[in-house]
Amino acid sequence: MKLQRTLHPNVLKRLHHLVFVGNIVETNEKSFRIQCLSPIPKLITEAIAAEGNPVRLSGLRSLPQNEKVLRDAADLKASLFLFRLRHGNKHLYVELIAGKAEEAASFYEIVPAPYLGVGQTREMLERKLCKGYVSFLLPRYSSDLGMPELMYCQGRLYGRLSLKSTVSSIMYREQHRNVVYYDIEDWDAYVSWNVDDALYFIQKDHYDMMREETEKQGERLIMPDVKQRAPAEGADTHGEAAFLRQLQLQTREKGLYLELTDMINFHTCVKTGRITIVGGMPGIGKSKFVKVYAEAMGLRHGRELLWLPISPSFQEPQDLLGYGHPNGSFIQSETGLVPFLLEAERHPEQLYMVVFDEMNISHVEHWFTPFLSLLELEPEARMLKLHALADSEVPQQVTIGNNVIFVGTVNFDETTKELSDRLLDRVNMVTFEKPPFREAFVTAGARRETEPLRSFNGLFAQWSRTDDSLSFTEEELELLDALHACLQKHDAAKGVSFRAAAAIGSYLANLPKDEDGNWLISREEAFDLQVKQRILTKIRGLEHAVAPLVQERGRREESLPELLQSPLAQDVSTFTHSLALLRQKARELELYGYAK
């Protein structure tokens, strides 16, 4: 069938996954015509200018798949066929999938089935239908077909649905939460075609009977009591709680007053990211804390700890590493970074830390470019090229292993440069909060237990979890999608990348525990911190661009504060940290017309 108007590329992609049933009404040596006896998207009928019901579509017998299905059919006129539509050369063609000997009915309705992941049950689906703000997948049913009236799952038929498509054409959520259910026996006896246990074609008279029975005899769905899945076993945390106690003790002895949550947050970021950036108001002790952290780990200044004050003159990687001289020798930079990395390469069992102090006093992307993509690769692939000289005593490249930690400190004032979204998408931006003076000085004057200092250098690798066995909850995934959609409405270049989502998942999986196995930061607060540090850091700019995102009273789909205070978000966390940051940005817009 020739298209009378062009279909949008996204429609064509979705069309590839749609299936239909019908019977063949005409055939000759080259082609055949099939009448579609199941729902077909209005976009398709309009594009081919088809009128009436059922719609007749054309197919070519020369296609190998069509030839095989037609050959296997004993009687074309007394067969029912499952087919899809293919697009090519401004035409839609029928591609037969299978056929069966069955006298075709006048019409077939579609009943979809939801996708239940590993470990998920029907009760979990019913909780989503009762909550209304958590979506689920109908993997073989596109919203192009309209919203389904019935849905089937594990022996139960659901009716009185008021579904709404969410972030994709196969994701739905229940709007009115007035669903009824009806336990049905002999389901297979009513099904004319079962497509992967995800889509069922039902003769219209059977379908109407089911809908009527569900409406009359169906019971109102109520929220089932479902036990949450127990958290997966964590990494070997031997000594991690002791290290954090030692860190807290040394921090106070150095005259630093920081929240314990900030210290645990920083530690978890260092475990899960190749580079962590620390910000906060001047004088709060960012640089001093990083030094204390390294000392608590057992790293020695000038040996396993390299401190690099960044200069405003840094403009390219050579300023950090060095350059090749015309005489054939490699002139190393005065930073000492190259010999430090070579030493770390020779001792992979030893932990090393590089600190870029005041790293945004120059454009970070100019001098840090080789590291940005390199640190995302697997350890054996992180080969930093130093030079291409043939006879230099310095190797041409150095491998950066997991035993090297990068930390940066930043300030935000008129003397510094903004961090790009490209960098922020790859790092945790940890912001230290100043505790109240009275609390700080009371704690400082309190009697403290003393512990002998230990070196935790060799245990750091045991604290890191690298597998993916701890997944997001569905509410967390739903919220990440909602945050992405909200950001995309305002700026197509912003959003929640797969890189950021994976980093958030890794952070959650690596939350430290005490000796009794209790989390030192709750998962709710940890997710809040990650939204603040991984997603909201990219929100900056002039009032006309940023104001709709940070305003308190706006539409949920367009305002981040409204989204983070929605039932969906509050099911994940209270988002105290994230909402405070958004209010700060709103205040900056009022004062300066710019959020930083």
pLDDT at 230: 45
Length reported for the chain: 596
Asked if the model's pLDDT at residue 227 lies above 70, the reply is: no
User: How much is the pLDDT for 387?
Assistant: 86
pLDDT in tens, 337-358: 999 999 999 999 999 999 999 9
Residue 224, pLDDT > 80, answer no
Structure confidence at residue 543 (pLDDT): 87
Cα-based torsion angle of the residue sequence 466, 470, 472, 473 in order, rounded to the nearest 10 degrees: -170
pLDDT at 242: 87
| 58 pLDDT higher than 80 | yes
Task: Look at 25-39, 103-117, 548-562 and tell me which has the smallest mean pLDDT.
Answer: 548-562
Quote the CA–CA distance of 235 and 394 in Å, as a whole number: 38
pLDDT for residue 450 is more than 70: no
When pLDDT is cut at 50, 70 and 90, the band that residue 435 belongs to is: confident
Q: What percentage of the chain has pLDDT greater than the value 70? A: 92
Quote the crossing angle between the two packed helices 260-272 and 240-253, to the nearest 10°: 130
* Of 443 and 376, the one with more pLDDT: 376
Please compute Rg for the chain using Cα positions: 31
E-only strand ranges, 373-425? 383-385, 397-399, 404-409
Q: Which residues contact 52 (CB under 8 A, 6 or more apart)?
A: none
Helix axes 474-490, 543-550, angle to 10 degrees: 150
Q: Model confidence at 209, in pLDDT bands (50, 70, 90)? A: very high
Tell the burial category of 61 from Cβ atoms under 10 Å away from its Cβ (0-12, 13-18, 19+): middle
Please tell me the least confidently modeled range out of 158-172, 233-247, 482-496: 233-247
Query: Cα angle at 518 between 513 and 521, to 5 degrees?
Result: 65
Cis peptide before 54 (omega within 30 of 0): yes
Strand 275-279 to 404-409 pairing: parallel
Q: Are 122 and 56 in contact (CB under 8 A)?
A: no
- Confidence band of 469 (pLDDT split at 50, 70, 90): very low
pLDDT digits (tens, 9 = 90+) for 21-35: 999 999 998 999 999
Most confidently modeled range among 5-14, 72-81, 141-150, 228-237: 141-150
- Higher pLDDT: 163 or 432? It is 163
Higher local confidence (pLDDT), 51 or 409: 409
The pLDDT of residue 233 is above 60: no
Task: Report DSSP letters for 178-212, one per residue.
Answer: --EEEE-S-HHHHEEEEETTTEEEEEHHHHHHHHH
What is the Cα–Cα distance from 483 to 528, expressed in whole angstroms? 13
Residue range 9-104 forms a domain whose CATH class is mainly beta
Is 240-445 a CATH 3.40.50.300 domain? yes
Q: How confident is the model at residue 235 (pLDDT cuts 50, 70, 90)?
A: very low
pLDDT score for 454: 64
118 pLDDT above the threshold of 70: yes
Residue range 297-335, pLDDT digits in tens: 999 999 999 999 999 999 999 999 998 887 878 899 999
What average pLDDT score do residues 107-118 get? Answer: 93
The pLDDT assigned to 49 comes to 81
CA distances from 109 to 19, 42, 163 (A): 12, 15, 17
pLDDT at 579 over 80: yes
* Alpha-helix runs per DSSP H in 18-134: 42-47, 64-72, 122-131
Query: From CA 117, how far away is CA 340, in angstroms rounded?
Result: 47
Average pLDDT over residues 265-287: 90
Range in 146-160, 280-294, 457-471 the model is least confident about = 457-471
CA distance 404 to 381: 14
Positive or negative, the CA dihedral 234, 236, 238, 244 is negative
Residue 342 CB contacts under 8 Å (≥ 6 apart), including other chains: 394, 395, 398
- Averaged pLDDT, 37-51: 88
Mean pLDDT, rounded, for 434-441: 65
Cα separation, 273 vs 503, in Å, equals 7
The pLDDT of residue 446 is above 70: no
In the structure, what pLDDT confidence band is assigned to residue 438 with cuts at 50, 70 and 90?
Answer: low
Task: Note the pLDDT of residue 447.
Answer: 45
Residue 123: per-residue pLDDT:
92
Q: How confident is the model at residue 460 (pLDDT cuts 50, 70, 90)?
A: confident
**Do the beta carbons of residue 573 and residue 527 sit within 8 Å?**
yes
Write down the pTM of the prediction.
0.79
Boundaries of every domain in the chain: 9-104, 109-220, 240-445, 472-595
pLDDT band at 533 (very low <50, low <70, confident <90, very high): very high
The per-residue pLDDT of the chain, averaged, comes to 88
| pLDDT number for residue 361 | 93
Give the tens place of pLDDT for each residue, 386-407. Answer: 888 877 888 989 999 999 999 9
